Amino acid sequence: MKFRPAFLPDPAGLYGLITFLFLVRFAGPKALVDGDTLWHIKIGQTIIETGKLVSTDGYSHTAAGKEWLAHEWLSEVVMAAFYNLGGLPVVTISFFLLVSLTFNYLYFTAQKESGAWSSFTAVSLAVAPMALTHLLARPHIFTWFLGAVTLHLLICNDKKLWILPLLIALWSNLHGGVLLGLLLQGGFIAGKLLNNWPGMQGHSWLAWLQNERRILIVMTTSIVAMGFNPFGYYPFSFNEAVSADIFSQTIGEWKPADFQSMWYVRAWFIWIFIMAAYHAGRTDWTWRLLVPALMWQAMIHVRHISIAAMFVVPWLAQTLHRVRVPLPFSIMKKADSSGEQLRLSCWTGPLLTFLVYLFLVGACIIAPPSWQNFAEDRFPLPDNFSQKAINFIAEETPGKKLFNEYSWGDYLIYALDPPPPIFIDGRADMYGETIFNDYVTVSMLREGTDAVLEQYDIDWVLFPKDHPLVRFLGNRPSWRTVFTDETTAILVLNKGQKTDD
């Protein structure tokens, strides 16, 4: 038989390629809407320039000198390297590449135990919950990709499983979501135990341990590997710190899902519940444990919806594959396999995606006029980040102790070198509950606003022009407006005046 090399991309690779092209064309503005991207880049640049990890706060007057561990240091170095190469477009396009490879892996994994249409449907159902809730150019995208790889290795459960401790070691330097890698392993071990409970089928505990020794050793080694980063097991405490009530009630991504406005998430939840109820009896214990746990986390925090949507894809594909709906359409009939079949490659799709990525990165570096116009239009900073305000502050800082809007702290760190001492930025875990609660008190004009402003000796304010705080202070003789444009206002405290005049 004559050997015929496979050149055409398989469905998984083609899906990843189309996803990448779609994201580059349409998702750029959404990926940069969160200011955290900016301070991550700045921290990465500091690490590259100094050759040292950032361990204390050097940007604020509220937490100046306080210990802060850049536990996502490797992600930040990667982001800074991409930024130095071609600015925000290269950073965003690089994360889009990771997202497309994540969908590629999910599709490839789903095909292992299901059919073509069920794999396509399951992956497509994950697109909206992932893309519309947390598609941001930030380090958690590394968790998406490494989580998809981990899930694939656990489902295959072959000799490649030994790669997991290496992935965990890398993951622990990239993002605090490394805990998900351990939880997935724990879920698969618990599922295997409940599926084959020792004594139920005449097997002893020793026999079970012998059969599952590979995954048990891998899990133990992964726990050790998680500590292979400059900060040891700090991610455990980080996740606990950002789960405090004040953060989950105020920061958008940590809030519970708003099913009233997020209709696509509501529809996705209903679909998952229907599938779980319809096939509960034929679902093994691994997914009986993981699916409810993932749904629970998705209901608690918006940022976990994308993780849940991603990790249930293989189960959803298996469940859909069992559905038998008699339709008169030929598409549902079994294809004739007697003829010569197309030879498809699982590598062609990712390779084509990477080549397109290299072309786009090259365009960002060379930056011809036509590409510059496209890049400025497709990868803009949020509209509320005013360059005019930055220019004004750069010429002469209006005061010494700033009270700034939360996301503007990120922008000031990114846009000014050095930035003025800020009140707060996206590093909520470092500021802690007390400072963050004080920020919320003033920004929401709660009782005690004047006391907080005096406590921190605030002498200038940077906030959105139409925010109630700007109107509140602007109507008081102790404050005067020194800058305003379409989106932003800067107010300063008159010398010798008190905020409660």
Instruction: Mark whether 317 and 392 lie in a shared domain.
Output: no
Please check whether residue 309 lies inside any domain of the structure.
Answer: yes
User: Quick one: 455 and 315 in the same domain?
Assistant: no
> What does the block give as tokens for 237?
């405490």
Is residue 151 situated within a structural domain?
Answer: yes
- Considering the domain architecture, whether residues 304 and 427 belong to the same structural domain is answered as no
Domain count within the chain = 2
Provide the pLDDT for residue 383.
87
Tell me: do 308 and 398 sit in the same domain: no
Would 289 be classed as within a structural domain?
Answer: yes
Whether 48 and 134 map to the same domain: the answer is yes
Is 394 found in the same domain as 281? no
- The reported pLDDT for the residue numbered 497 is 62
Number of H helices, E strands in the chain: 23, 6
Place of tokens 């549902």: 332
- Quick one: 312 and 411 in the same domain? no
What is the H or E stretch that residue 489 is in? strand 488-493
Token output for 96:
């889009």
From CA 256, how far away is CA 298, in angstroms rounded? 8
HSE-up of residue 164 (Cα within 13 Å, Cβ side)? 35
Q: Which amino acid is at 56?
A: T
Q: Is residue 160 part of a domain?
A: yes
Listed as own residue / partner, the contacts of 363-368 with beta carbons closer than 8 Å and 24 or more positions apart are 364/85, 364/86, 364/87, 364/89, 364/90, 364/93, 365/85, 365/86, 365/90, 367/86
Q: Which DSSP string corresponds to 430-449?
A: HHHHHHHHHHHHHHTT-TTH
The list of the chain residues with pLDDT below 50 reads: 1, 3, 326-335
| Cα separations in angstroms, 162 against 92, 102, 104, 110, 228 | 32, 20, 22, 21, 16
Residues 89, 339: Cα–Cα separation, whole Å: 46
Residues 262 and 391 in one domain: no
Structure tokens at 286: 């691994």
What pTM was estimated for this model as a whole? 0.92
Which residues are within 8 A (CB) of 469 and not within 5 positions of it... i.e. 6 or more apart?
Answer: 442, 443, 445, 461, 463
Find all residues with CB under 8 Å of 132, minimum gap 6, and list them: 262, 264, 265
DSSP-derived 3-state class of residue 332: helix
Last residue of a domain, one of 286, 305, 321: 321
On the question of a cis peptide bond just before residue 418, with omega within 30 degrees of 0, the verdict is yes
Residue 498 pLDDT: 59
- Give pLDDT, residue 385: 94
Question: In terms of residue numbers, what domain contains 393?
Answer: 387-493
Q: Are residues 397 and 291 in the same domain?
A: no
User: What confidence score (pLDDT) does residue 116 get?
Assistant: 86
For 5, the 3-state DSSP assignment is: coil
- Among 266, 294, 321, the domain boundary falls at 321
Q: pLDDT per residue over 359-405, tens digit each?
A: 999 999 998 887 888 888 899 998 889 999 999 999 988 999 999 99
Shared domain check, 391 and 289: no
- In a domain, residue 109? The reply is yes
The answer to whether residues 17 and 91 belong to one domain is yes
Which of 291, 321, 351 marks a domain boundary? 321
* 372 found inside a domain: no
Q: Is residue 121 part of a domain?
A: yes
C-alpha–C-alpha distance, residues 395 and 29, integer Å: 29
Query: What one-character-per-residue DSSP string does 305-323 give?
Result: HHHHHHHTHHHHHHHHHH-
280 lies in the same domain as 135: yes
Judge whether 377 lies within some domain.
no
pLDDT number for residue 374: 82
* Confidence (pLDDT) at 401: 96
How much of the chain exceeds pLDDT 90, in percent? 71
SS3 content of the chain, % helix, strand, coil (to 5): 65, 5, 30
